[in-house]
Chains A and B, each alone.
Chain A
Amino acid sequence: MWTIIAQVFPYAIAFTVPLLITALGGLYSERSGVVNIGLEGLMVVGFFTGALVISKLELTIPDTAIWLGLLAALAAGALFSLLHAFACVSLNANQVISGTAINMIAGALTVFLARNMTGSGNILIIHGLVRRSVPVLSKIPVAGKLFFTQTYATTWLVLAILIVSWFVLYRTSFGLRLRACGEHPQAADSAGINVYRMRYVAVMVSGAFAGLGGAIILVTYSGEFTGTVSGLGFLALAALIFGQWKPLGVLGATFFFGFASTIANVSQVIPALSGIPGILLKNFPYIVTLVVLVLSSKYSQAPRAAGEPYDKAKR
C-alpha cells in the first residue's frame, strides 16, 4: 500500500497544482463579488500563450524560456480576463453568460490561431520542467519521500502564492476591502472603497492565476498545447465551492480532486483497485462534489454579493 501511495503521490500533486492555482484565482474574483465561470477559457489562454512563447524561445534560451512562458501566460490570462471584467463590472452584464462567452472565445480563438501556425492546431514544446528533489528535506523519512522528492518548481511557486494569498486576503487592508466588496458592496462603497476598481483587480488576478494554471499543465505533465484543458477550469470552480471560498479549503478540495482523478487514472495497474469498475472511479469526484454541495448547502459561506452586478444607485 505504501509503495502505491508513494508512486501515485507525485502524479496526484502534479494534477492538483494547476487546479489549485486556478481555484485560487477564482477565489479572488468571487470574494470580490464576480462569479468567474470563464476560468476554463482563461486556462486555455494561458496554455496557448505558454506553448507559443516557449516553442518560439526554447531553441535559443532553453532554460529561461519555460519561465518566460509562464510569465507570458500569467500576463495573457490577466489581459484576457479584462473582457470579463469589462462586461461584468462596467456593463453589469450577466456574469455567467459573460463567463460562458469567455470560455467559448478562448477555446475557439486559440485553436484558430494555433491551427494557422502549425496546421494541426497542436503546439509541441520540446522541454518541460524537470522534476527535482529538494536537497535536505527529501531525506526526512515518509514525508521526505512524499513531498520533497521528484517535485516541480511550479509546485513550490503555487504553494507560495497560496500562503501569500491567505496573508493578503486576511491580514491586509486590501484583502479586507476585497472581501467587503463581495459581501456588501454598498457598505464598502460608503466606506470609501472603489468597488469597481476592486472588482477589476480581482478579476484580473483570477485571469492571471488561471493563465498560469494553464501554462503549468503545459510545462509539467502535458508538454503540448491541444486546445482544451478538458474541464479542469470547471473542476477548479467546483473545488472553490467545495472548499467554501477559503484558501485552505480550496487546497483540500483541489487535492481531493487531484488524488481521486489520479487514482482513477492508474487504477488498472493497482491490484487493490482494479476490481472497482472505472466508471465508478471516474465519476467519484463529481458525485462526491454533488453530495458535499447538498450537505453544505445549509452552511454555505458563499460571498453574499457574488454574481450580482454592483449598482451604485441601489443602497
Chain B
Amino acid sequence: MKRFFSKSFVMALMAVVLGLLAGAVLMLVIGSNPASGYMYLFRGGLMSIERVGNTLATATPLILTGLSVAFAFRTGLFNIGAAGQMLIGGLCATAVGLTFALPKPVLLTLMVAAAVLGGALWGLVPGLLKAKFNVHEVVATIMMNWISYWTVYYVVPAYFKGAYLETESRKISDAASLKTEWLTGMFGGSYINLGLFLAVVAVIVIAFIIDRTTFGYELKAVGLNRHAAEYAGIKADRSIVMSMMIAGALAGLGGATFYVGYASNIQIGVLPTQGFDGIAVALLGGNSPWGVFGAALFFGLLHSGKGFMNAMTRIPPEIADTIIATIIYFSATSILVERNWDRLKRKVGGVK
C-alpha cells in the first residue's frame, strides 16, 4: 500500500487529473459538454471487446516508444528520435515482409529482427556522436528523424510502390502480418496483434536489465553522474552508445508492431506521432518499465476512443493530443508540487 502511494505515482496521477481538467475546460470553451465528451471518449475505447482490442493495439507501439525514451533517460540521454527509429524499423520490417516468401513464423522473426536492427542503427549514430564527439543527442536524433523521413519518402515509392497510391507501400501479405487469426477472432476483428506480446516481453526484459543486472546498474550510474561513474571504472562512452542502441532497437520494434501489425503498409511523408507520444509515456510512467506500460495503456485508450467521441459529439479528435500534451507539461512542472509534497507529508503523517 505504501509503495502504491509512492511520490512518483501521486505526481503522475495529479498530472493526469490536471490534463483531463484542461481537456474539460477546452470542451467547455467550444461549447460542448465535458461529461458526455469524456463518456464517449472512454466508451469509444472500452465499450466492446473489439474496442478493447483496438485500445491494446494502439497502446502497443506506445509501450515500446515509451520504453525507448525511458531507457535512454535512465542513462541521462534524451531520445527525441523515437519517431525516426520507429519509422526506419517499420521500413525494414515492411521491406523484408514484401521481399521474401517464407513460412509465417520464420518471416515474422526475420521482419522483427530487421526492425530491431534498423532502429538500433538509428540509435547507434547519435550514441556514437554523443560519446565520441559530445554532439548533443537532442539535435542528433532530430536530424536522424528527418533522415529517416526522407529515406522512407524515396525508398518506398522506388521499391515497394502501392498498387494505387504513390504515397504508400504495397500491402503486406497475411503471412507477413503480426495479426493472427486466433487473436483477431478472439477480439471480434480488432487490430490487436502479436506486437502486444513482444511489447510485454520487452517491458519484462528492460525491467530486468535496469533493476537486476550490472549492465543496467552501470547505465543508471552514468545517467546519475557521468564523471563519478567514470571514476568508479565504468566506461561511460560505452554505456552511452549501448543505451542509445537499445533505445533505438525498442523504438524500431515499436515500428514493426505499428506498420506490420496495427497497419499493413507504410505511408510516406509522415513521422509517426507515437515517437513523440513516447516522451509523454515515459514521463508519465516515471521512466520505470511498468510505469511506462500503464501510461501507454492510458494514452492508447485516449487515442482509440477519440474517433468515437468525435462521431458522437462535435469535439475535434485533437482533444486527445491536447490532453496528452498538457499532461507532459504538468509532469514537467510537477516540481512545484514536489517541493511542497515533503512539507505536506511531514505535516500530515508526522516524521517517519
A residues engaging B (CB < 8 A)? Answer: 37, 83, 86-87, 91-94, 96-98, 100-105, 107-109, 111-113, 115-116, 121, 231, 234, 237-238, 241, 277-279, 282-283, 286-287, 289-290, 293-294, 297, 300
Q: Would you call B318 and A104 a contact (CB within 8 A)?
A: no
Q: CB of B256 within 8 A of chain A? A: no
Q: Are B332 and A101 in contact (CB under 8 A)?
A: yes
Could you list some 26 contacts between A and B, CB below 8 A?
A87-B333, A91-B333, A91-B336, A92-B335, A93-B335, A96-B78, A97-B331, A98-B332, A98-B333, A100-B276, A101-B329, A104-B280, A104-B321, A105-B325, A107-B321, A112-B316, A231-B145, A277-B154, A279-B150, A282-B150, A283-B147, A287-B143, A290-B129, A290-B143, A293-B140, A294-B133
B135 touches A297 (CB 8 A): yes
Query: Which residues of B (322-339) have their CB < 8 Å from a CB of A?
Result: 322, 324-326, 328-329, 331-333, 335-336
Is the CB–CB distance between B318 and A108 below 8 Å?
yes
Interface of A is mostly: helix
Interface centre among A104, A111, A278 (most CB of B within 10 A): A104
CA of A3 to CA of B324, assembled, Å:
50
CB-CB < 8 A to A115: which residues of B? 316, 318
A289-B143 contact in complex given A100-B328, A105-B326, A282-B150, C-beta closer than 8 Å: yes
Contacts of A241 in B (CB 8 A): 136, 139
CA distance A231 to B324 in the complex (A): 20
**Chain B residues whose CB sits within 8 angstroms of the CB of A113 once the complex forms:** 30
Q: Are B155 and A93 in contact (CB under 8 A)?
A: no
Contacts A91-B333, A101-B325; is A116 near B133 (CB within 8 Å)?
no
- Interface flag for B200 (CB, 8 Å): no
Are B146's CB and A231's CB within 8 A? yes
Which 10 pairs across A and B sit closest by C-beta, in order of nearness? A104-B325, A108-B321, A101-B329, A279-B154, A112-B318, A115-B316, A105-B325, A282-B150, A108-B322, A101-B328
Residues of B close to A86: CB separation below 8 A: 333
A286 touches B143 (CB 8 A): yes
Contact of B332 among A97, A112, A237 (CB under 8 A): A97
Bound CA span A104–B323, Å: 10
B133, B136, B150, B326: the one within 8 Å of A283 (CB): B150
A294 in contact with B322 (CB, 8 Å): no
Question: Which B residue sits closest to A307, measured CB to CB?
Answer: B136
Number of contacts between A and B (CB, 8 Å)?
Answer: 127
Is B296's CB within 8 Å of the partner chain A?
no
Given contacts A105-B322, A109-B322, A116-B30, contact A83 B329 (CB under 8 A): yes
Tell whether, in the assembled complex, residue B326 and residue A87 are in contact, meaning their CB atoms are under 8 Å apart: no
B135 touches A87 (CB 8 A): no
Q: How big is the B interface, by class?
A: 35 or more
Q: Residue of A at shortest CB range from B338?
A: A91
A278 touching B154 in the complex, CB below 8 Å, given contacts A105-B322, A238-B139, A289-B143 = yes
Do B335 and A104 touch (CB < 8 A)? no
The answer to whether A297 touches B335, judged by C-beta atoms less than 8 angstroms apart, is no
Residues of A within 8 A of B335 (CB): 91-93
Given A112-B316, A237-B142, the answer on whether A87 and B332 have CB atoms closer than 8 Å is yes
Q: A91-B333, A93-B332 are in contact. Are A112 and B322 (CB under 8 A)?
A: yes
Q: B138 to nearest A CB, angstroms?
A: 6
CA A105 to CA B145, docked complex, whole Å = 20
Residues facing A in B178-226 (CB within 8 A) are: none
| B142 and A238 within 8 A (CB) | yes
Per-residue contact bits, chain B 136-169, to A (CB 8 Å; 1 contact, 0 not): 1011101111110011011100000000000000
The answer to whether B276 touches A293, judged by C-beta atoms less than 8 angstroms apart, is: no
Bound CA–CA A287/B26 (angstroms): 41
Q: Does B80 contact A (CB under 8 A)?
A: yes
| Chain B residues with CB under 8 A of A96 | 78, 80, 138
Contact residues in A for B332 (Cβ distance below 8 Å): 87, 93-94, 97-98, 101
B322 and A37 contacting across the interface, CB-CB below 8 Å? no
What is the CA–CA distance of A83 and B22 in the complex, to the nearest angstrom? 14
Whether B333 pairs with A93 at a CB distance below 8 angstroms is yes
Contact residues in B for A92 (Cβ distance below 8 Å) = 335
Find A290's partner among B140, B280, B324, B329 (CB 8 Å cutoff).
Answer: B140
**Given contacts A87-B329, A98-B332, A282-B154, is CB(A116)–CB(B143) below 8 Å?**
no
A245 CB to nearest chain B CB (Å): 13
- Which residue from A97, A111, A116, A282 sits with its C-beta under 8 Å from B328? A97
- A41's closest neighbor in chain B, by CB? B325
Q: Is the CB of B326 within 8 A of A112?
A: no
Given contacts A96-B138, A293-B139, A293-B140, contact A111 B318 (CB under 8 A): yes
Q: In B301-352, which residues have CB < 8 Å from any A CB? A: 316, 318-319, 321-322, 324-326, 328-329, 331-333, 335-336
Q: Does B297 contact A (CB under 8 A)?
A: no
**Partner pick for B329 among A105, A112, A293, CB 8 A cutoff:** A105
Q: Which residues of A contact B144 (CB under 8 A)?
A: 286
B321 cross-chain contacts in A, Cβ below 8 A: 104, 107-108, 111-112
Q: Contacts of B154 on A, CB cut-off 8 Å?
A: 277-279, 282
Please pick, from B30, B142, B319, the residue contacting A234 in the complex, using a CB distance under 8 A: B142
Instruction: Write the nearest CB–CB distance from A307 to chain B, whole angstroms.
Output: 9
Chain B residues lying within 8 Å of A111, measured Cβ to Cβ, are 316, 318, 321
Known: A93-B332, A105-B322, A238-B143. 19 other contacts (CB 8 A): A37-B138, A86-B333, A91-B333, A91-B335, A92-B335, A93-B335, A100-B276, A101-B332, A104-B328, A111-B316, A237-B142, A238-B142, A241-B136, A241-B139, A283-B151, A286-B144, A289-B143, A293-B133, A294-B135
Q: Which of B26, B80, B125 contacts A100 (CB 8 A)?
A: B80
Complex alpha-carbon distance, A86 and B332, angstroms: 11
State A262–B340 Cα separation when bound (angstroms): 52
Alpha-carbon separation in the docked complex, A241 to B324 (Å) = 30
User: Is A287 within 8 A of B147, CB to CB?
Assistant: yes
Q: Whole-angstrom distance from the CB of A11 to the nearest CB of chain B?
A: 19
